[in-house]
């Protein structure tokens, strides 16, 4: 059954990619974002959301791809991060439950503390190290308490050829200098926004037919990388497209202090989503090549100013 895909967020890399995939598969896409919907105003959520949910046809699914994602700034703005990442998702999920519309909620590997030496399972204890991680975990828990048939999709190190993310930041730095310093003692799994979008639409199709497992699932690229290795992969790929080769100076986290602590190891085990939905981990290097090519082809590809 093909219903609407209601997406919270419009210009973020996952929101944009999800809209593209949804339209290509026959869905009508409804975006809810500022100014119609301000996630920093939880008290206004129901007023903006309810009319859309009430008019949604059978088979519709809501995707919450919007969040406060500035990990460092969240340390100085904990109330705002909590409002957007914890309070609002709970309200959205509650309204979805009342309208009998499933919700797919995007979450993060930063809910874990990084003390494991093997990929995290969905059942592992969450011990976030940062305000951002704690706010996202609180949002996950609020969504799971709802009656909206929720799927929490935890992912990591999201990248694409557009938007604000690590890949575009590295390309910008590479256009200005021949060497960059990147931490080498934090390990994750870079994941393309386009691959996340494919997974979301596959899950949405099953949820719409009421034939799907719910709960928390991990989804990420198939190749663990330190941030320095990720940067090196970006520059090697860009060089194949004619960009000047940039070298990576691998440093320790303590040599690059930041307001927020990150997990040293946040690789995710993705076996559960393969069992429940038949979704395999995507090929990281293929997605990276496509994203780098897209970024380099864009006229503004050296204009990004924020990190992910």
Quote the pLDDT of residue 303: 39
Least Cα distance to 301 among 179, 176, 192, 169 occurs for 169
Quote the pLDDT of residue 36: 84
* 214: alpha, beta or left? (left if phi > 0; alpha if psi -120 to 50): beta
In this structure, what DSSP letter does residue 87 have? Answer: I
Please indicate, yes or no, if residue 82 is contained in any of the structural domains: yes
> What's the structural domain count of the chain?
1
Candidate list 132, 265, 277, 284, residue with the active-site label: 132
Q: What angle do CA 113, 256, 294 make, to 5 degrees?
A: 85
Quote the pLDDT of residue 5: 95
Q: CB count, 10 Å around CB of 286?
A: 13
Q: Provide the CA 269 distance to its chain's centre, in angstroms.
A: 16
Taking only the tens place, the pLDDT of each residue in 268-291 is: 999 999 999 999 999 999 999 999
Question: What gap in Å lies between CA 53 and CA 85, rounded to an integer?
Answer: 21
In this structure, what DSSP letter does residue 18 have? Answer: H
Please indicate, yes or no, if residue 232 is contained in any of the structural domains: no
CA atoms within 13 A on the CB side of 31: 16
Quote the pLDDT of residue 3: 86
Please indicate, yes or no, if residue 13 is contained in any of the structural domains: yes
pLDDT means per 10 residues, the chain with 308 residues, are: 85 93 92 86 90 92 95 96 96 95 97 96 97 98 93 97 92 93 96 98 88 92 97 96 92 92 97 96 97 86 36
120 part of the active site:
no
Least Cα distance to 63 among 39, 25, 89, 41 occurs for 89
Coil, strand or helix at 107 = strand
CATH number at residue 129: 3.40.50.720
pTM score, two decimals?
Answer: 0.94
Quote the pLDDT of residue 300: 56
Please indicate, yes or no, if residue 303 is contained in any of the structural domains: no
Domain that holds residue 149: 5-160+191-223+265-282
Quote the pLDDT of residue 34: 83
Least Cα distance to 101 among 174, 245, 5 occurs for 5
Please indicate, yes or no, if residue 179 is contained in any of the structural domains: no
Please indicate, yes or no, if residue 29 is contained in any of the structural domains: yes
User: Phi and psi (nearest 5°) for 243?
Assistant: -80, 155
Quote the pLDDT of residue 1: 57
Quote the pLDDT of residue 42: 87
Please indicate, yes or no, if residue 121 is contained in any of the structural domains: yes
Please indicate, yes or no, if residue 291 is contained in any of the structural domains: no
């Amino acid at each position: 059954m093909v219903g609407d895909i209601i997406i919270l967020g419009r210009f973020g890399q996952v929101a944009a990619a999800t809209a593209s995939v949804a339209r290509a598969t026959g869905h009508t896409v409804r975006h809810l974002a500022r100014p119609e919907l301000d996630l920093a105003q939880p008290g206004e959520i129901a007023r903006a959301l309810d009319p859309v949910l009430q008019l949604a046809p059978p088979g519709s699914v809501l995707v919450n791809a919007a969040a406060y994602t500035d990990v460092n700034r969240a340390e100085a703005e904990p109330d705002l991060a909590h409002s957007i990442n914890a309070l609002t998702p709970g309200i959205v999920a509650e309204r979805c439950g009342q309208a009998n519309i499933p919700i797919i909620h995007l979450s993060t590997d930063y809910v874990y503390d990084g003390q494991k030496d093997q990929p995290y399972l969905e059942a592992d204890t969450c011990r976030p190290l940062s305000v951002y991680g704690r706010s996202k975990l609180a949002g996950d828990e609020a969504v799971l308490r709802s009656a909206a048939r929720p799927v929490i999709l935890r992912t990591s190190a999201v990248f694409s050829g557009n938007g604000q993310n690590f890949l575009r930041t590295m390309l910008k730095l590479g256009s200005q200098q021949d060497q960059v310093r990147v931490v080498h003692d934090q390990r994750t799994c870079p994941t393309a926004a386009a691959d996340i979008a494919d997974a979301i639409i596959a899950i949405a199709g099953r949820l719409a037919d009421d034939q799907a497992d719910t709960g928390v699932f991990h989804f990420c690229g198939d190749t663990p990388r330190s941030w320095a290795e990720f940067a090196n992969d970006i520059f090697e790929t860009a060089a194949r497209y004619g960009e000047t080769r940039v070298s990576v100076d691998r440093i320790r986290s303590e040599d690059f202090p930041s307001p927020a602590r990150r997990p040293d190891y946040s690789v995710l085990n993705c076996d559960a989503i393969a069992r429940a939905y038949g979704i395999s981990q995507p090929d990281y290097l293929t997605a990276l090549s496509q994203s780098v090519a897209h970024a380099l082809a864009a006229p503004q590809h050296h204009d990004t100013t924020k990190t992910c």
